[in-house]
Chain A
Amino acid sequence: GAGVSQSPSNKVTEKGKDVELRCDPISGHTALYWYRQSLGQGLEFLIYFQGNSAPDKSGLPSDRFSAERTGGSVSTLTIQRTQQEDSAVYLCASTLGGAVNEQFFGPGTRLTVL
């Protein structure tokens, strides 16, 4: 596609359930980022993938959060045993790797944990 896509656009789940959020980056973009944005807040860095290098997981808030990037393209963010404080918009962004480049953001997944 022309831009970054994310699915689902909205997810409502019960506390304690696991959720998977998907990101399809722009074709050819080697770098992929996940951010979390709570209502009225800035973007909180979660994890960064660059090519085949080991991901930078320094922003993941707990071991309930994990992410994969298969084949250097699609990424999945998994939250296990969701808690109410996990409710937020989860944004994915991709960029051409190497030299610093503009990030292109997807529309986000709004997660609500009841």
Chain B
Amino acid sequence: GQNIDQPTEMTATEGAIVQINCTYQTSGFNGLFWYQQHAGEAPTFLSYNVLDGLEEKGRFSSFLSRSKGYSYLLLKELQMKDSASYLCAVMGGYNKLIFGAGTRLAVHP
């Protein structure tokens, strides 16, 4: 079966750091994506990991451990506009992208 787990909700303070975890069990693995989705909008791409380790892109970083079936998205210097849902998605066999349910992040002053 295929299973992607991430926390349902998180809250954090403006200027702080937050880590959103994702664990997965899928048939086949061709990479892991993180997407951001603001309420009422389509998801937008944040990051892609296919090898173990940390990928850094500005205030956002994403980590992958394939042996543990684990990834996290790290958001630094949080801003109010970072309040959104963050979707973890795994590209399985045959390029089929499966999404987790998403983590709703609320950033407060």
Contacts and interface: CB of A to CB of B under 8 A. Distances in A.
A105 interface: yes
Nearest to B4: A42
Nearest to A103: B97
Contact of B30 (A33, A100, A104): A100
Contacts, number: 51
Interface stretch (A12-20, A43-51, A70-78): A43-51
Interface string B32-74: 0100000001111100101000000000000000000000000
Interface in A63-110: 91, 97, 100, 102-108
Contacts of A43: 43, 87, 89, 99, 102
Using C-beta atoms within 8 Å of the partner chain, give the interface range for chain A. Answer: 20 to 34
A55 to B, nearest CB: 11
Contact of A45 (B31, B43, B45, B96): B96
Nearest first, the 9 closest Cβ-Cβ pairs linking A and B are A42-B101, A105-B42, A43-B99, A102-B45, A42-B102, A100-B31, A42-B99, A100-B30, A105-B43
Interface of B: 30-31, 33, 41-45, 48, 50, 87, 89, 91, 94-102
